[in-house]
Copies of this chain bind each other. A is one copy, B any other.
Amino acid sequence: MNGAATRARIIDAADQLFYRHGYEHTSFAVIADAVQISRGNFYHHFKSKDHILGAVIEARLAATRQLLDQWETEDADPAGRIKKFIHIVVANQVDIQNYGCPVGTLTAELAKLDHPSRAAATSLFTLYREWLRDQFALLGHADRADALAMHVLAFSQGIATLSNAFRDEELVQREVQQLCDWLSFLLP
């Protein structure tokens, strides 16, 4: 098999497993099982588990950039784009109920581990933050665009955490609706 393809499959499997069971709890053996290659073979593709994590974060960054770009072309209205972001927690409700927010839980875990990739994981948040900030600036709130962006980000994280803890679907619907209402008041 092509080496690059195997590498991509490792990243993909590791991404899923890191998300579902946490970075530390995911062992080489489990990833190897998922990709159906031998354990020792990893060394050829990645020098260490940390390097796999680095590649996973990089892949997520690329995927996130693509998603945000796609939203830019799909929706001409900045407010509509923000709503698309807000509705992530609804679209991914099942996963979030089971495993929490992929970004929030990863940064939290890496912070506790004092892991070198902590900053890289935070940059995933920054991607959303700056994108949201741009949208709010377009809506005429350039002076407090960053604060508004962080407000939206914070509520998404809060909803994700409680959705995961209580497995409460109604809560998600209700809070999302509330945040969309709040957004409407900001429109020109």
Q: Report if A162 contacts B (CB, 8 A).
A: yes
A164 interface neighbour in B111, B150, B164, B178, Cβ under 8 Å: B111
Given A154-B158, A158-B155, residue A112 in contact with residue B125 (CB < 8 A): no
Q: Is the interface of A mostly helix, strand, loop or mixed?
A: helix
Nearest CB in chain B to that of A109: its residue = B22
Q: Report if A28 contacts B (CB, 8 A).
A: no
Q: Which residues of B contact A100 (CB under 8 A)?
A: 108, 111-112
Decide: A125 and B166 in contact? CB cutoff 8 A. Answer: yes
Interface size bracket, A side? 35 or more
Decide: B107 and A165 in contact? CB cutoff 8 A. Answer: yes
Given A98-B111, A100-B108, residue A161 in contact with residue B158 (CB < 8 A): yes
Q: Report if A147 contacts B (CB, 8 A).
A: yes
Nearest CB of chain B from residue A145's CB, rounded to whole Å: 13
Nearest CB in chain B to that of A162: its residue = B154
